[in-house]
Amino acid sequence: MAGSQLVDQLPIGVLALQGDFREHLAVLELLGETAIAVKTPQQLEHIAGLIIPGGESSVIDKLSRLYGLYDPLREAIAGGLPVYGTCAGLIMLADTVLDSIDGQRSFGGLDVVVRRNAFGSQTDSFETDIRVPELGDVPVHAIFIRAPVVESVGAKARAIATLDDGRIVAVEQGNVLGTSFHPEITGDTRFHEYFISRVRASG
């Protein structure tokens, strides 16, 4: 069987240690994808791509180590597994994290510097429309909840969306995609569709 055909049969996983993984699973299923909640290293061997959801990055880090997922997931990302991180997921994919708690680690994969909780506390959450040329002319309605911001982008990554003030809120690098905001709760599925297209192309 050809590699691309095999990839077409594999589900897309959502890291289900903590956070709003159920919402991502629902979007994937709405788009006709087979989706599974990933909680073990063994499940990483049977997925075509992975979404790391919003939540609390320090908790995701601790639980990934507790469940034996940290090293296998880091290696899978380095090996080319397509991954999309939203909010805390973006933090987990950043090579460098500012304002992290003592001992906190990320999986890496994005040549960016990200600052945790850059927009303030839960009460400072906000919504706005942003332009994402890769997704067409219609702006994306973005919801930011205790969101990180990309402070700088290295040579390997590129910014694909910014706020009006220039702050970077979406980046990509090869098979890795990250957003500061939560497209899984807006009803706009274009970011998920964009990620799915990258997953299928990776075959």
Residue 102 per-residue DSSP state: T
Residue in the block written with tokens 């942003």: 130
**Catalytic residue (one of 24, 172, 182, 192):** 182
Assigned token pair, 89: 């997921």
Look up 134 and say whether it is catalytic. Answer: no
Q: String of b and e for 129-151 (b: at least 16 CB within 10 Å)?
A: ebebeebeeeebebbbbbbbbbb
**Catalytic residue (one of 33, 172, 184, 192):** 184
Look up 182 and say whether it is catalytic. Answer: yes
Q: Cβ(63)–Cβ(79) under 8 Å?
A: no
The Cα 203–Cα 189 span in angstroms is 22
Look up 172 and say whether it is catalytic. Answer: no
The Cα 54–Cα 35 span in angstroms is 17
**Catalytic residue (one of 87, 172, 192, 193):** 87
- φ, ψ of residue 172 to 5 degrees: the values are -145, 155
Cα distances (angstroms) measured from residue 119 to each of 78, 136, 175, 191, 200? 29, 27, 27, 22, 34
The Cα 48–Cα 193 span in angstroms is 14
Q: Is 121 exposed, middle or buried (0-12, 13-18, 19+ CB in 10 A)?
A: exposed
Q: Cβ(73)–Cβ(36) under 8 Å?
A: no
Q: Which residues are marked as active site?
A: 87, 182, 184
